Amino acid sequence: MRFNYHICILIGLWINMAQLGGQEEKEKTTALKDLLSRIDLDELMKKDEPPLTFPKTLEEFEYAFNEKGQLRHIKTGEPFVFNYREDLHRWNQKRYEALGEIITQHVYELLEKDCNMTKKILPVDATDDEPKSFIYLSEDALTNQDRLLVLVQGSGVVRAGQWARRLIINEDMNSGSQIPFITHAMKEGYGVMVLNPNENFLEVEKPPAPAPDPTPQASPDGPDEPAEKRERKEEKETKKKRDFYEKYRNPQKERETELIPIRENSSSEEHTVYVWDHFISKSAAKNIFFVAHSYGGLSFVELMIQKEAEVKNRVCAVAMTDSVHNVWHQEAGRSIQEWMQEHCCNWVSSTQPLDSPVETMLSDCPRVSAGTERHELTSWSSFHSIFKFFDDTLLQAQDTDSRSAATVTRRSSNRIKHEEF
């Protein structure tokens, strides 16, 4: 193992120097102590790293999704292997991240080709040269007069159409993506909007730093000492230290980047409010439903805080899955908490059977078990329960509307009879 190999080298150096005497021993001991204080074990692991360049497509990675939506190696049929190179954790992680970016693009393709969804650019008035984000809409997302489903994922690397990248790679497409929610909702007559709350910045490579000024600068400690003599002296004093640790510290340099925020979409909360203002609130749907996972639940509560009257007037029900919102910390008022008690349900990770009530000290919304202890699985585990919750809520709303209409009809009839007399 490379790790043990490098440690053995260090121990060997220590023993050899211990056998030396006099001033040379002290100098080398000092140099080694400096090495040990500076050295990072993670950096040691980078010495023999392969290049940080990876395939750009699933085919080049030699992986594909089978008929069950599972990612498998096209030659061996085996699941994805994270530790592709032993003892090269950073390289393996970079390889995993490169595959994750390909998975993101693959999900986008599925949304467009299989789900027939359309990408809408954000901001809606973006110029050609400014950073942009986007969301996905079904064909009838804005025109469906009956119902609209809005999907909001949690934080992190996941993008539009994903609940958990890890599940897509290690389990299957159904459990990790939003596609089952989209296809089922469409069959049930919903328009669908897929938000993209983590696409907040444009990442660009930093320009190279300017070359240092070659003109010798006078030292404040020795203004009269010639620059060449001073440089030779410094090189002599540091040569042994440099010789000891430089050969063990040879990591590959990663490109330096900077993040340019996307206007009015630089956070999950800001993105959710922006999409509400420009898309959700302008839809024709009488009944709007949300599925909000993890941080998406927090973003929904923030939306309520900023647009309370509008949300109450348009949203029929909200299904949260292991939401991390906190009505106390977010300072959601009593009226919001009372509305959430009536219109929200949070399926949380738990050892209890699916839909079993889960006690909570917060007075925001009912909590029930998602039937799994795994945070990232809560959306998929509660899939059927969520749509039953929506159906039940819709039936209740329809019953209420029917009773209200009947009351109005009776009053109108009575008024007509009264006027006839």
Strands 191-194 and 147-152: parallel
CA 152 to CA 70: how far, in whole Å?
Answer: 24
294 assigned to active site: yes
Closest to 343 measured CA to CA, from 319, 313, 310, 326:
319
Q: Which of 175, 268, 283, 294 is catalytic?
A: 294
- Reading the block at residue 404, the tokens are 């209200």
Tell me the catalytic residues.
Answer: 294
